[in-house]
Structure 1
Amino acid sequence: MIRTGTEYRDSIRDGREVYVNGEKVRDVATHPMFKPLVDIRARIHDMAHDPATRDVMTVTQNGQTNAIGNALPYTQADWWAKRRATDTVLDAVGGIVTRVGDETVGEMWSLLDGAEALAAIDPQFAPNIKAHIAKVLQADPFHVSANTDPKGDRSKAPQDQDPDMLLHVVKETDAGIIVRGAKYETAAAYANQAFTKPTIANWGDAALSDYAVGFICDLGAPGLKFICRTGFATRAQAEDYPLSNRFDEVDTLVIFDNVLIPWENVLFYRHTQAAMHIRATLHRYSAFAFVQRSLKLADMLIGAALFNVRQTGLDKLQPVQEKLAQLAVWRESLNAHLTAAIVLGERSPAGLMMPNQSLLYAGRVLACGQLHEMMHIARDLCGGQISLTPDAASFRHPDTAPWLEKYYTINDEWGAEDRRKLLAFARDLLNSDYAGHRLSFQMFAQSPPFAHLSAVYRNFDWDGPLSLVKDAAGLSDRVLGAKTLTPGDSSLSKWFATETPKGKAAK
């Protein structure tokens, strides 16, 4: 059931209405601003068939071979397999892609975990959840996520302003619900479907709201319009901006102009309690892939900085080594959170293997909260030449090439052309429009920073520290109310006290 790259390209040639840079796009698969990422998504599909990579990219369950990114995780081994597959993809394409499906499909698994709670609120849509998870496995779509609305005046309730500022239901029919509004969705213009759900919104005290709706949207459905920001690809020469031209994932304002959502695609509707439950658990799986991509970005920052200081021998200076060490500490901290989140994995309400939530969400805060500092350290180590170096054409022009060859050649190992390539890569990684966009996107890609911290607050085991201080200070049990704790009752302490790594992995 795994698609090929050609089948994926054909699937997005469905007559969708896409606009970018003031033009209507005829073929999103070949348009120069979309083609680099379409090609990467197609390559991921093809890697599942390539004998060299198919064992890493696929998994066989119940007699069916599926893409590893779409497969539900039941064991720690499943998470190690997903981690290997993501690294294999990013290494193969030579850069970082954030929206290619595996990092958003996990939001569907969160729905599976919450199916019982959602059914208690409104039972009619619960069967749709399992059906769509099975469909993702069988059909292998490019699945993305839709969270953010234009919002309008955020001091007002949705119903007190233009109602279309938040996506909402305007009508019920026998075939399904009709929705209006808009959503920002990265990669939507060249994806197949989106899990569309409410943003973090103010519903007041209302138990029911037409804005509290979640559904699977076929991105080829009539009534959708895709208005994209201008991509970074083609805006400058690929030699001068190698990342901008290959890895820019185009963000889209998706207009829902009275779009029919069939009842079988509706996952929850009207109940604000259901919407809030979904928002609270949305990233319990998908945050793993998000942090893993941050780890790969850390490797790119370290590699670019280290090459630059080694060229001129600056890596022998202690202040330079200290800055490199700061990058390494951040990198290894992300690695530690990912590793520990697997090793201390938890069984979810639906029986899935869930990365340790406290560790995973803490890792996400670390990844986003320190990224700007790490980029600035890398800028410092790369030096001012990343902002001063002429373009590739100047290195080839007969009047200027000899001078640039003279001043950019360092030694026998580092000639002018390699030096130019490294500086161009570092400039695009750290200083370009694309670099600034990635920094902003990273902060908000999985909700804003305050929501990241809220997730940590909800998932951290506060009982362990309270128990420790209660006993160390000789406090009575009543300070904890009716709850009595034992010392060291944190998740990590309990694990070390009761299980070995081997035993935990077997579970």
Structure 2
Amino acid sequence: MLRTGAQYRDSLRDGRQVWMNGERVHDVTTHPAFKPIVDIRARIYDMAHEEKFKPVMAYAEGNQENCIGYKLPHTQEDWQQKRRAIDLVMKEINGYAVRVGDETVGEMWSLYDGRDVLNEVDPQFSKNITDHIDKVLQSDVFHVSANTDPKGDRSKRPQDQDPDMLLHLVKETDQGIVVRGAKYETAAAYANQAFVKPTIANWGDEKLSDYALGFICDMGAPGLKHICRTGFAGRAPAADYPLSNRCDEVDTLLVFDDVLVPWENVLFYRHTRAAAYIRGTLHRYSAFPYVLRILYIADLMLGAAAFNAKQTGLDVQQAVREKLALLMQYRETINAHLTAAIATAEKSPGGLLMPNQSLLYTGRYYAINQLPAMMHLARELCGGQICVTPDSATFADPEIGAWLEKYYSVNEFWQAEDRRRLLAFARDLLNSDRAGHMLTFELFAQAPPFAHLNAIYMNFDMKNALDYVKDCAGLSDRVMEQWGKR
């Protein structure tokens, strides 16, 4: 059933072991670094119960209402519904959030497509993934995923260094498997469960490996420790850093200190073919909501830059319009790839409808690859005042505030307070610690750039181009046979 925000908050009070800034966090729902993002996730839950949002946020199946974001996609309309729901959420929270559950559940759908591979390991594991998809859908839990390891020395095999550098199997028991190691995961400290899977790593050429693991882990499991980076929320006044204080998605080093994973939560283990399959198809679905969220970053940059140009009359200059047009084309190119990926969607091996893989991965690479340049372009359009403007307390000071009122008021449309708010917003979006974090996060959140390009290579259908050149050049049919063997 659809959860409420209160039910979500209650689910986090499970005794989980969370640390930040060298201190134990006993309740993430009230801690100042976590409360803003917990409140946002709770708000998303509550939206599905409100008449204004319910028709878009939820759907009925039998006598039960479920979250539209977790619905298995079978039609183009399913994807359009998901997109409309994300649009509502982004506008309601006045910003953007990357990890709220709908984007990571797609990784489970990739497992659903790979049931034949899982059956090679054990038919029970195939059943486990079906059961967990149903569980996520019916219980509406906050589901995330844990992927990246602490790395260690990547010139060596995991077995040739501290084995705990990569998450691995310690032993099997009647109750399940015991695992040890670490993973990084955004939102883990305030999520309910995570799909934990192997990273892009050298787990060896053997058929079986203790490092080839995929399972569902309860974020409050005994032995699991959440070691979080310092949060941005609360470090500076909200009036000066509105985005940092509104929505900081805290990243966590998850330490698995001999954590027991019940057999019903094991999706595959020790089977390197299953691990390789999952790594190759992991973002088949989840890349769509990830890229869609970059579209909202583009809108934020474009809106902030356009307001800054308009307030001082610079928008009439051709050079400024050209730069705004570049931000517009960045935004619309992302939009075009997302739209086309659904318009030309494909049936998946498991019978679901997946976005056109070549278009989706190409759009993803473009969105992420061009993001640094677009952020810098937005900085140019916003001007140097985003880095030199005094803080809100100075504007409010009775002795000196009048001077700021004089020099920051532009015309009858833009008085000092609105201008200060816009400059503070642009600074937080483009120049702050959070802005730098966002840029790095988007670069690596799904996979490193080389993996993005490999995904394009592996999912592009070369047949048309090869056939065209073969016919134009008068080549024999046997040249196509060579390509097919690669």
CA distance in 2, matches of 1:85, 1:171: 43
Cα deviation code 1:459-505 (max 9, x no counterpart)? 01111111111122222222212789xxxxxxxxxxxxxxxxxxxxx
The alpha carbon displacement at 1:289 in A equals: 0.2
- Corresponding position of 2:54: 54
- Corresponding position of 1:352: 352
RMSD (Å) for aligned C-alpha atoms: 1.1
Question: Unaligned regions of 5+ residues in structure 1, if any?
Answer: 485-507
CA distance in 2, matches of 1:370, 1:255: 34
Q: Give 3-state SS (helix, strand or coil) of 2:220's partner.
A: coil
The alpha carbon displacement at 1:168 in A equals: 0.6
Does residue 341 of the first structure (1) align with residue 341 of the second (2)? yes
CA distance in 1, matches of 2:290, 2:244: 20
Aligned residue runs from structure 1 range 108-187, under 5 A: 108-187=108-187
Amino acid at match of 1:212: A
Aligned residue runs from structure 1 range 389-404, under 5 A: 389-404=389-404
Q: Give 3-state SS (helix, strand or coil) of 1:240's partner.
A: coil
Amino acid at match of 1:321: R
CA spacing shift, 1:420–1:16, aligned 2, 3 Å: same
- Corresponding position of 1:319: 319
Amino acid at match of 1:159: Q
Q: Give 3-state SS (helix, strand or coil) of 2:257's partner.
A: strand
Does residue 445 of the first structure (1) align with residue 445 of the second (2)? yes
The alpha carbon displacement at 1:141 in A equals: 0.3
- Corresponding position of 1:419: 419
Aligned residue runs from structure 1 range 431-470, under 5 A: 431-470=431-470
CA distance in 1, matches of 2:220, 2:204: 34
- Corresponding position of 2:256: 256
- Corresponding position of 1:68: 68
CA distance in 1, matches of 2:261, 2:204: 26
Does residue 22 of the first structure (1) align with residue 19 of the second (2)? no
Amino acid at match of 1:231: G
Q: Give 3-state SS (helix, strand or coil) of 1:476's partner.
A: coil
- Corresponding position of 1:504: none
The alpha carbon displacement at 1:347 in A equals: 0.7
Which is further off, 201-210 or 316-325? 201-210
Aligned residue runs from structure 1 range 488-507, under 5 A: none
Amino acid at match of 2:16: R
- Corresponding position of 2:9: 9
CA spacing shift, 1:410–1:163, aligned 2, 3 Å: same
Amino acid at match of 2:408: Y
Amino acid at match of 1:28: V
Amino acid at match of 1:120: E
Q: Give 3-state SS (helix, strand or coil) of 1:337's partner.
A: helix
TM-score after normalising by structure 2: 0.98
Q: Give 3-state SS (helix, strand or coil) of 1:393's partner.
A: helix
Amino acid at match of 1:126: S
CA distance in 2, matches of 1:268, 1:203: 14
CA distance in 2, matches of 1:417, 1:124: 62
CA distance in 1, matches of 2:366, 2:478: 35
Kindly tell me the number of residue pairs found equivalent between the two proteins: 484
CA distance in 2, matches of 1:254, 1:72: 28
TM-score after normalising by structure 1: 0.94
Identity, in percent, stands at 68
CA distance in 2, matches of 1:247, 1:363: 25
8 A Cα contact 2:194 2:219, kept in partner:
yes
The alpha carbon displacement at 1:62 in A equals: 4.0
CA distance in 2, matches of 1:175, 1:296: 44
Does residue 293 of the first structure (1) align with residue 325 of the second (2)? no
- Corresponding position of 1:331: 331
Q: Give 3-state SS (helix, strand or coil) of 2:174's partner.
A: coil
- Corresponding position of 2:42: 42
Question: Unaligned regions of 5+ residues in structure 2, if any?
Answer: none
Amino acid at match of 2:404: L
The alpha carbon displacement at 1:61 in A equals: 2.6
CA distance in 2, matches of 1:245, 1:211: 38
Q: Give 3-state SS (helix, strand or coil) of 1:243's partner.
A: helix
- Corresponding position of 1:273: 273
CA distance in 2, matches of 1:185, 1:398: 46
- Corresponding position of 1:405: 405
Q: Give 3-state SS (helix, strand or coil) of 2:342's partner.
A: helix
CA spacing shift, 1:483–1:445, aligned 2, 3 Å: closer
Cα deviation code 1:118-161 (max 9, x no counterpart)? 21344341110100000001110000010011021111110111
- Corresponding position of 2:239: 239
8 A Cα contact 2:145 2:194, kept in partner:
yes
Cα deviation code 1:83-109 (max 9, x no counterpart)? 000010000001010010000000000
- Corresponding position of 2:104: 104
CA distance in 2, matches of 1:161, 1:470: 50
Q: Give 3-state SS (helix, strand or coil) of 1:261's partner.
A: strand
Does residue 203 of the first structure (1) align with residue 197 of the second (2)? no
Amino acid at match of 2:464: G
The alpha carbon displacement at 1:23 in A equals: 1.1
CA distance in 2, matches of 1:345, 1:390: 50
- Corresponding position of 2:365: 365
CA distance in 2, matches of 1:211, 1:280: 17
The alpha carbon displacement at 1:366 in A equals: 0.6
- Corresponding position of 1:388: 388
Does residue 478 of the first structure (1) align with residue 482 of the second (2)? no
CA spacing shift, 1:482–1:224, aligned 2, 3 Å: closer
CA distance in 2, matches of 1:311, 1:322: 17
Q: Give 3-state SS (helix, strand or coil) of 2:60's partner.
A: strand
Q: Give 3-state SS (helix, strand or coil) of 1:257's partner.
A: strand
Cα deviation code 1:277-335 (max 9, x no counterpart)? 00000000000000100001100000000000001111111111111111111110000
Cα deviation code 1:30-57 (max 9, x no counterpart)? 1000001100100111011001100100
Amino acid at match of 1:311: Q
CA distance in 2, matches of 1:481, 1:74: 35
